[in-house]
Copies of this chain bind each other. A is one copy, B any other.
Amino acid sequence: MSQNVVTGPTFLAKLDASREAARVLATATAGQKDAALRAIADVVASSAERILPANDLDLANARENGLSAGMQDRLRLDAARLGALAEAVREVAALTDPIGQVVRGSTLPNGLKIAQVRVPFGVVGAIYEARPNVTIDIAALALKSGNAAVLRGGSAAQNTNAVLVELLQEAIAGVGLPADSVQTIDEFGRDGAAQLMRARGYVDVLIPRGSADLINTVVSQSTVPVIETGAGVVHIFLDESADESSAVDIVHNAKVQRPSVCNALETLLVHRAVAEQLLPPVLAALRASGVTIHGDEATRAIVADVVPATEEDWATEYMSLDLSVRVVDDLDAAMDHIRRYSTHHTESIITNNLARAERFLAEVDSAVVMVNASTRFTDGGEFGFGAEVGISTQKLHARGPMGLGELTSTKWVVRGTGHVRG
């Protein structure tokens, strides 16, 4: 049961207002939307005195409630972080508007002209954890792609988010677009999140962002279509023919460069024929950067002081300086392991054998498959999309890094001159 007392508009009245806002946004020009985004950037950069007291309140509650240091850090805003957020919004404003792009089209044999055109989804719902930067981020991406956004942030960030949404609404209304283009439903508490997941007909798509638990809850409870962004139990396979220096560099980069993100390496698989040669230098480089190795028996026979890997380790997304390591008999055994434990995010093979590279690329069923590259390249920015909407691990609609285009639907426009079907 929620203990929130709601005194403002009812839940459905808010969603109705989002739909109305979406109608206006659907035909807003890129110029109008970009003006709103620049106004948002300005207000975020200049409103520390309104934002930070609310954030301090959330941080005080977080300490009182014993939130972890990591969660407190993700919750914290300061002048520098607000500046970076504003800059990110300006970058979104500078991107090409996907709306109105003609995906394909033709003139049919009967003269009918058909065109498939990018349109906004309408209302995009987002459910996420206590990271107030996501509030600005999702609102900006939704607005750029002509969508109204309904936000349910983590309750630990509720005071911060309330102020941020006020600022967003002021900025948007200030350029003549509907204030309701961005709304929060935080005041409805957990009940609100549950209602949002069942708001089919009001919300066109739901994007959960956060832990695997959060995403699983949304996926299993939602009747609104969900874009699953995701957990990454990411693998690299060092093939028999792997180049040693590539192996050392790529594994180190994939694990160490930024261990807390979904495209970071979690499990290293090594071909038995080269395990004795490759594991010592690869693991030494990792350990020099503070990585804890969880290895199978074969790994522990080659390298000393390795923590025994448990069955659970193979399925774990550490998001920390930990790595599971397993020696496998061959490419097929590597792919069997990946099939069993992967979350189908990103897997890479390090090899100089063309046939095995092609088999890996063809047979591994993940959003991104790589040869001789660090898994850290699975990223909208790296792929040249300009914006980081998330990385989809589902197969419907969008798979892998998502750009603004993945926040749109399409419609078919058909132009006739009195055409009837024969």
Contacts and interface: CB of A to CB of B under 8 A. Distances in A.
A305 to B, nearest CB: 26
A367 B399 contact: no
Interface string A241-268: 0010110011011100100000000000
Interface in A212-234: 219-220, 223, 225-227
Given A363-B27, A396-B205, A396-B227, A412 B246 contact: no
Contacts of A410: 399-400
B362 A395 contact: no
Interface string A340-380: 00000000100000000000011101111111111011100
Contacts of A368: 411-414
Contact of A412 (B200, B219, B367): B367
A373 B414 contact: yes
Given A395-B121, A396-B409, A397-B396, A371 B415 contact: yes
Nearest to A252: B420
Nearest to A251: B420
A365 B410 CA distance: 10
A377 B419 contact: yes
A114 interface: yes
A23 interface: yes
Nearest to A116: B400
Contact of A397 (B116, B243, B370, B397): B397
A400 B411 contact: yes
Nearest to A227: B396
B383 A108 contact: yes
Instruction: Say how many copies of this protein the assembly contains.
Output: 2
A26 interface: yes
A415 B372 contact: yes
Contacts of A348: 414
Contacts of A320: none
Given A373-B416, A377-B414, A204 B397 contact: no
Contacts of A371: 414-416
Interface of A: 23, 26-27, 106, 108, 112, 114, 116, 119, 121-122, 200, 204-205, 219-220, 223, 225-227, 243, 245-246, 249-250, 252-254, 257, 348, 361-363, 365-374, 376-378, 382-384, 394-397, 399-401, 409-421
Q: In the A-B complex, list the 7 residue pairs whose CB atoms are closest, starting with the nearest.
A: A373-B416, A253-B420, A395-B409, A397-B397, A246-B418, A376-B421, A370-B414
